[in-house]
Amino acid sequence: MVNKKRFTDREFQKLAARINKTLIANEGVGGDQKKQVEAVMDLERYFFNAIKRYAKAVQVYALFIRHINHELGNILNAKPFFRESPAVFNKSISPALRSNNPRKLLEFHGNYNLIHFIVNNWGGPLPDHVQSIYDRFLKARSLLIENNLPLAINRAKIFYRSTPESHLLLIDFIDICIQGLITGIDKYVGEYTTVWRSVCIGRMVGFMIEEYSKTLIRMYPTDKKILYRINSLRHTLKTEDIKILTKALNESFLQDEKEGKAIPKLPIFEDFVVEILNGASHLSADSTIEDVDGSGSVGIYDITASSDDIAEEVENRNAWGGVLNAAKQLNLLETKIIRLKGVDI
């Protein structure tokens, strides 16, 4: 069981102090976040408008299409490279990728991931004015990330304290929130409004739920949603009673339905709740179970092959393979004599 005291408030305060020191040293501290967000998006546009003037841009975009279609193998893997809405991606970007049309892709607003790909595949130094835009873009993006690190830490701490103990520590949730913040910064679409903050928070919470609900056994998204709701209720109600949890689970989803939210198929029964919780548990290989006859207990290590056993088995198979290959060189009389000795070759 993870001990939450391993990451204390004092350690959290030290981490926050280091981040605050970084912000104070940064020119942008106290600046207008709206201007910072718009600066990042404007510099992206300047970068793509600048490279459009060069024939090499079409070649690099052709490499990008090949990277998506052949190396990543799925057009949907191109989504993180563009700052466009899902509707634009599905209606325009996907067809351009399928039809291998790099010139068409030049029309769309990419983000840091696409800029990074272009810089790495330009095949030499960027033109001076493009390099200048790129440097300013990196600085603006880094500033925006650093100035919002306190928000990421705050959301991580709220989530950590409002969920039952898991395999993740507070520092893990902070790292997950920072990744969500960066994704929100790179994927936000449209003019800046106060919604920008909500989008970033939504990414952070979504990433935390995904990591928190990861299990050794693969679950469907609906099952993960149920698992997360069960864990939330365990923490809120301070109980492990399956009957109470199952009743509260069904009631919470019924309330969601009244509010017009999508819900799993109801009712959810107690045995399914037990199955979900068991599937989500992390079992140590040192754990033991009783023998069928009650004579003793065995662990996972007792019923799995050791590395020595595996090595010996491989060696024996290789040796027997060598014998069979040599036997192919024997004449008919020699083969009959060996078979009379009881060796099957």
Q: Which domain holds residue 227?
A: 222-304
Sign of the alpha-carbon dihedral angle for 87, 90, 91, 97: positive
Do residue 23 and residue 113 come from a single domain? Answer: no
Three-state SS at 1:
coil
Contacts of residues 172-178 at CB distance under 8 Å and 24 or more positions apart, as own/partner, are 172/211, 173/208, 174/15, 176/204, 176/207, 176/208, 176/211, 177/152, 177/153, 177/204, 177/207, 177/208, 178/145, 178/149, 178/152
Residue 166 pLDDT: 78
Do residue 110 and residue 189 come from a single domain? Answer: no
**Domain annotation covers residue 241:** yes
**Domain annotation covers residue 311:** no
Alpha helices (H) along 52-194: 56-66, 86-88, 94-98, 102-105, 112-120, 128-147, 149-161, 170-187
Do residue 291 and residue 333 come from a single domain? Answer: no
Residues whose CB is less than 8 angstroms from the CB of residue 316 and which lie 6 or more positions away in sequence, other chains included: none
Do residue 123 and residue 176 come from a single domain? Answer: no
**DSSP secondary structure letters along 311-339:** HHHHHHHHHHHHHHHHHTTS-HHHHHHHH
Q: Of 162, 188, 212, which marks where a domain is finished?
A: 212
Helix (H) or strand (E) run with residue 298 in it: strand 297-299
> Where residue 169 sits, what CATH number does that domain have?
1.10.1740
Q: Of 185, 212, 239, which marks where a domain is finished?
A: 212
pLDDT values of the chain reduced to their tens digit, one per residue, 345 residues: 444 444 445 555 555 555 555 544 444 444 589 999 999 999 999 999 999 999 999 999 999 999 998 888 889 999 999 999 999 999 999 999 999 999 999 999 999 999 999 999 999 999 999 999 999 999 999 999 999 999 999 999 999 988 887 778 899 999 999 999 999 999 999 999 989 999 999 999 999 988 887 765 666 778 878 888 888 888 888 888 889 999 999 999 999 888 888 888 888 888 888 888 776 665 444 445 454 455 555 554 454 445 455 556 656 666 666 666 676 677 776 676 666 666 666
Q: Tell me how far apart the alpha carbons of residues 229 and 277 are, in angstroms, rounded to a whole number.
A: 11
- Give CA 293 to chain center in angstroms: 44
Residues whose CB is less than 8 angstroms from the CB of residue 12 and which lie 6 or more positions away in sequence, other chains included: 153, 157, 170
CB count in 10 Å sphere of residue 233: 20
Q: Residue 305 in contact with residue 297, Cβ under 8 Å?
A: no
**Domain annotation covers residue 236:** yes
Do residue 336 and residue 288 come from a single domain? Answer: no
**Domain annotation covers residue 23:** yes
Do residue 26 and residue 38 come from a single domain? Answer: no
* Total domains present in the chain: 4
Do residue 40 and residue 25 come from a single domain? Answer: no
Residue 28 pLDDT: 42
Do residue 21 and residue 66 come from a single domain? Answer: no
Residue 298: strand pairing partners: 289
Q: Residue 106 in contact with residue 99, Cβ under 8 Å?
A: no
Q: Residue 208 in contact with residue 180, Cβ under 8 Å?
A: yes
